[in-house]
Chain A
Amino acid sequence: MNDLHEHDVGLDASVKSHIESKATVDGTGSHSASVDDHGYRVLSLEEITPRVDDILEAAKTLASAAKKLEKNRVEEDEAEKAARALQKDANDAFEARLEKRVAPEMRRFEDVQKDVLKALKKLDKAVESADEETEKSQGAYKELLSIITPSNRAI
């Protein structure tokens, strides 16, 4: 999983060594405000310690939003499949209706059409909820980064 591109290797190595040197400092409180080549740095453990509650909160929000999003994706898929299948039924019923062929086992076009609309509404809801969770997770991730690397405007 670490097959990084050439450019990335150099970048990650410099950032990582930088972070390791910062994160393992203990009690010396080196606030040298070191800025690396990319114009931001990751704060030291001492600097973020007062905000561990916020970090935990953001991580919780991110994880819960990611989980809900996954669930939403499944719901979206299911709703889409259901809508497609119903629309196909509706098409069949529509053709039958125009041809005035009424097979006894065939549902009325109007009934199927109602179910299609219901399925579409369900799909809309899943999409809407997914958008909300995406927004939540984005906010949580932004918050997390703003605590740990305040000068970084990655997101």
Chain B
Amino acid sequence: MRTNASSNAVISLPQAMAHSSDILIAAQKLASAVYKVRKKRLDEEQARKLAERLRHEVREALKALPEGDYSGHLYIEKTIQRELIKANNDIDRAIEGANKEAKKSEQAYADLIAVLLNNHDSQAD
């Protein structure tokens, strides 16, 4: 028995069953986007750690270089520094990906709520 029909703005059970595939699709999109956000945040963290380590390595390698050793300098730029740039790019890409998936999860959640609140008849009676 529905006691508080006036405050019942979510759809009824029969309506929910009729729209169960829409609900499932929204829930699947939501879960998938949330998982991907988590994954991207992990990627970001790992890339940050790597970048941190490489930055340290570059600093140490430069410090160890004799004054005026240009070929040694060049070597560091071509190796460790290049890796550092790549790690920094990975950070950016992970952040971008996380933001994209966060937007998707917002949309999926909005879709889910829209289905659940599309109330037509339970208040009419």
Contacts and interface: CB of A to CB of B under 8 A. Distances in A.
Interface of A: 1, 4-5, 7-8, 11-12, 15-16, 19-20, 23-24, 26, 38-40, 42, 45, 48-49, 52-53, 55-56, 58-60, 62-63, 65-67, 69, 137-138, 141, 144-145, 148-149, 152-155
Contacts of B106: 23-24, 26, 45
A7 B120 CA distance: 11
Contacts of A19: 110, 113, 117
Give chain B's interface residue range (CB within 8 Å of chain A): 35 or more
A153 B109 CA distance: 20
Nearest to A37: B7
Given A42-B113, A148-B116, A55 B13 contact: no
Contacts, number: 118
Contacts of B2: 154-155
A45 B37 CA distance: 13
B89 interface: no
B71 interface: no
A59 to B, nearest CB: 4
Task: Name the 4 nearest CB pairs between A and B, nearest first.
Answer: A59-B27, A38-B7, A66-B20, A66-B17
Interface in B76-125: 102, 105-106, 109-110, 112-114, 116-120, 123-124
